[in-house]
Chains A and B, each alone.
Chain A
Amino acid sequence: MAFPLYAGVYLQHTATIILTYLCLALSWDMLVRTGQISFGVAGFFGIGAYSAALTALNLKLDPLLSIAVGGLAAMAAALVLGLTTLQLRGMYFAITTLALTEIFRVIVRNLPGLTGGPEGTVLPSAIFDGDPTKTYWLLLAIALVTIAISEAFQRTRVYFAITSIRHDEMVARSSGLDIFKYAVFVFAVTSAIQGIVGASFAQQYAFVSPEGTFDIDFTLLPIAMCLLGGMHSTLGPIIGALVLGSVAEYLKLQLPYGHLLVYGAVITLVILLMPQGVAGKMKEQFVREQ
């Protein structure tokens, strides 16, 4: 993981971007493990980014502290949203989260006094004065924490809770499991991660704007990565982010026009041909050989 440090600034920067998407992909997957799809990653990413930028700018908070604030703000938003919409799960939840990004964008755009309005807000300087190595370490740390949380979710009682919710809500409820509590809990944790990632993004590039920060790609790319790597595991999204992140960077240099098509094709083909993803496929193979 320290490899990019010796590979030059460009690779370091690309690795930082890939780590950003890795965290988003992993946090998205953690929620999927409860059976809920969120199309609102960009929304929480944006809330985190804006909260961090505005607190750093107006309250002169330390950048690292402002990143924590970004995570908390996203978590608070998720709690409010979760408490209202997670009673109805499935399609309704998915579509509400799809709307979420747009709602936040509209709000941010229409409160120019607070947020800088449509033009966004510029921070005086990037975090660590733009030092790419330190930024890389920061993102790596966030990614490791995300991985740790994901693994914790796979090894503790949370695993039993979310797996039963995903497979059979009725059994879960009848076995004494408070579905709503767990759904809201996981939603809040994953949103906090997305908020933190967004906040560090804002600190890294020293600016936020409604269009750039609430970009639908922050939702889209993580989903494609999870699908490719395989859902419902820690390894899957990591593989997906590494593979798709680097392939996309390579393709961009080879096929400058329309390489986003790859993401759509990946999502479609994986769902049709390999719903368990790369990691799942490997696991399956492994089990068969045993």
Chain B
Amino acid sequence: MRSIEHQDPTMTNQMAGEMAVLEIDSLVRRFGGLAALRQVSFAVNAHEVLGIIGPNGAGKTTLINVIGGIYPPTSGRILFQGRDITELPAHLRCRLGIARTFQIVRPVQGLNLLQNIMVGSLFGRGASLKEARSQSLGICQFMGLSRVDRAIAKLTVLEIKKMEIARALSTQPRILLLDEVMAGLNVDETREMIDLVRQVCAQGVTVCIIEHVMSVIRELTERVIVLDHGEKIAQGPYEEVSRDPRVIGAYLGEEE
């Protein structure tokens, strides 16, 4: 799949000229009469960790779903490494290098821990069974997952969350979209997870992270996007944004 990319000359030119891995251009998504995203635009730069925050129902998960190709935008464009992928189906986006996790974990029940991770390698990267196995075992080691032939039912919450990330990593992504991976973890586990995300980033993967736990955002991200009612209301370093009255207002509105 990668080879196809390089055959496209326009793309390589753009890659050279710009640092943005992912560009979102006036994205709109409606569900019936309800607009979940309204004219959202931003870019994700290579090798950065971008935070996406906002109150419940702000459209964060919808944004990830639209970028991941679960459903198409009502209007707007998505560019990945300069290439327009707005019309591309989800599995091809994954093969281009966009991987994601799910807010509510979605392990495949019929497969065990290792097999779950292999799915990404097999189909996202087109590996053979043998390659997928060894690669996935490597990722397990990296993630600190042991006894890899366990059934999903026997895993802890942390392990399932790690498995989701491992499955995403096994597709060898350029960009990883993390949807609330810290939710439900205790302090120590959160610590461990933050370190993991750092290591992932250190390997050259760009990360987009949705998170409710602000300490995580503060620690991990260089930049955040704030969504409210489907609209981008602020962007910038967390310290800056958290002082923005609109952002405070949005979060206060949620308290009521």
Contacts and interface: CB of A to CB of B under 8 A. Distances in A.
Q: Do A and B come from one complex?
A: yes
Contacts of B100: 174
Given A157-B122, A160-B118, A179-B91, A174 B99 contact: yes
A86 to B, nearest CB: 14
B171 A163 contact: no
B205 to A, nearest CB: 16
Given A156-B129, A157-B129, A160-B115, A177 B123 contact: yes
B110 A174 contact: no
Interface residues of B, number: 31
Given A170-B70, A175-B94, A177-B91, A163 B108 contact: yes
Given A173-B69, A177-B91, A167 B99 contact: no
A163 B110 contact: yes
Contact of B89 (A161, A166, A173, A175): A173
A160 B89 contact: no
Contact of A171 (B69, B89, B92, B106): B106
Interface in A148-202: 156-157, 160-161, 163-164, 166-168, 170-179
A172 B119 contact: yes
Nearest to B90: A173
B108 A176 contact: no
B94 A176 contact: yes
B35 interface: no
Contacts of B125: 176
A232 B70 CA distance: 27
A154 to B, nearest CB: 11
A124 B125 CA distance: 54
B167 interface: yes
A40 to B, nearest CB: 25
B177 to A, nearest CB: 9
Given A174-B94, A176-B171, A178-B91, A167 B108 contact: yes
A25 to B, nearest CB: 20
A162 to B, nearest CB: 9
Contacts of B70: 170, 173-174
B123 A167 contact: no
Contact of B122 (A160, A171, A232): A160
> Which of B109, B119, B129: most chain A CB closer than 10 A?
B119
Contacts of A161: 122-123
B95 interface: yes
Given A173-B69, A173-B90, A164 B99 contact: no
A173 B120 CA distance: 10
Nearest to B94: A176
Interface of A: 156-157, 160-161, 163-164, 166-168, 170-179, 232
5 contacts: A157-B129, A172-B108, A172-B119, A173-B90, A174-B69
Given A172-B123, A174-B90, 12 more contacts: A156-B129, A157-B129, A160-B115, A160-B122, A161-B122, A164-B111, A171-B106, A173-B94, A174-B94, A175-B120, A175-B123, A176-B123
